[in-house]
Structure 1
Amino acid sequence: MSPAAPRPDDEHPGVARFRAAHHALGGTGEIVVLPAGVHTAALAAEALGCEVGAIANSLLFDAEGEPVLVLTSGAHRVDVRATAARIGRAALTRASPDFVRRHTGQVIGGVSPLGHPAPVPTWLDPWLRRHPVVWAAAGHPAAVFSTTYEELARLTGAIEVDVEPEGMA
């Protein structure tokens, strides 16, 4: 990527904010805009030609009014009770669209792990480590970027956490 990281004139503002944050942090991956109608990890994996487990879902939770971001493999569902206990929170609940927008500046389905208005505590599913290339949202529901597990951890400062139920991790 060039130092100026030029962007297309018609690029969505959320993707442009992501691109700027990604570039500032030294991210190396490619940003890809997926076809219309690709709105699940399985469909994204199909469009990208990868396993669903290589899709990093960015899930923002409400932890008693505080945001918590969990980056999990598209092959997993987050067990909120087990994950809350592992990260030292009383509970994790599904965040409302307004809560997500307020804390990330993005919409559900397009929450990137970067470029939020303020830092958000972030945890990372170790299952993503199994894939040489990981794809995560890039600030818009149709945009993703390629990265590695190690780079994603570095860019976000995320702490590894198992998201599966007790006894499964």
Structure 2
Amino acid sequence: MCGAELTSLPEGVQRVARVLQEHGHPHGPVMLDDAARTAQQAADALGIAVGQIAKSIVFRRKSDDAAVLVVTSGDRRVDEKKVDALVGKTGRADAEFVKSRTGYSIGGVSPVGHAHPPVTLIDRELFRFDEVWAAAGHPHGVFKLRPQDLERLTGAPVADVVQEPSQ
């Protein structure tokens, strides 16, 4: 990418693309034909397992109103008690909070390129896969990476932050 082709992308996707370029990430954002607002929609569009979707869940920390981003495997549910034990008591974040803190709308929250850097945790379950896909700042935008790249790009710790899968 030389940069000129970025101007036709939505602003949020351009922001993600710049961060990826700055970090020498080998894969830029890809725009899907249909929106991928859920992990299942994204997995279906990409032809991969839903667990390979690195979904971004945003919480609101009660003590200081900070955004807490949990990047988790698409086939897992976040365990809020585990998150709270690591970062302090959290609550639900509404769409306005998510947009104002991350710069992205729900359904397109990327793990990188936030308006205000959130407290970030990476779900260890993502490391079951060699390759995962994350939102790229827009409901149609995604990018490919390895779980190790997610650590490098965000500087976030890997933690146990999900509910045990039901058998």
Q: Same fold (TM over 0.5)?
A: yes
Matched, 1:150 2:148: yes
Whether contact under 8 Å (1:52, 1:74) holds in the other structure is yes
SS in 2 for 1:21: helix
Partner residue of 2:129?
131
Partner residue of 2:9?
11
Alignment of 1:20-169 (within 5 A): 20-64=18-62, 65-85=65-85, 87-89=86-88, 91-165=89-163
Q: Percent identity?
A: 41
1:145 counterpart letter in structure 2: F
Tell me the alpha carbon deviations over residues 63-113 of structure 1, each in whole angstroms, 9 at most, x when there is no partner.
11111110000000111122211x141x22221111111111111111101
Query: Against the structure 1 CA distance between its residues 106 and 81, is the aligned structure 2 distance closer, same or farther, given a 3 Å change threshold?
Result: same
- Structure 2 length as normaliser, TM-score? 0.90
In 1, Cα distance between equivalents of 2:43 and 2:27: 16
2:134 counterpart letter in structure 1: A
Query: Against the structure 1 CA distance between its residues 8 and 115, is the aligned structure 2 distance closer, same or farther, given a 3 Å change threshold?
Result: closer
SS in 1 for 2:59: strand
Whether contact under 8 Å (2:37, 2:108) holds in the other structure is no
Whether contact under 8 Å (2:82, 2:162) holds in the other structure is yes
Tell me the alpha carbon deviations over residues 8-34 of structure 1, each in whole angstroms, 9 at most, x when there is no partner.
543111111111111112222242112
> Cα RMSD (Å) of the superposition?
1.9
Deviation at 1:138, TM superposition (A): 0.3
Whether contact under 8 Å (1:106, 1:139) holds in the other structure is yes
* Structure 1 gaps, min length 5: none
- Structure 1 length as normaliser, TM-score? 0.89
In 2, Cα distance between equivalents of 1:164 and 1:132: 19
1:39 counterpart letter in structure 2: R
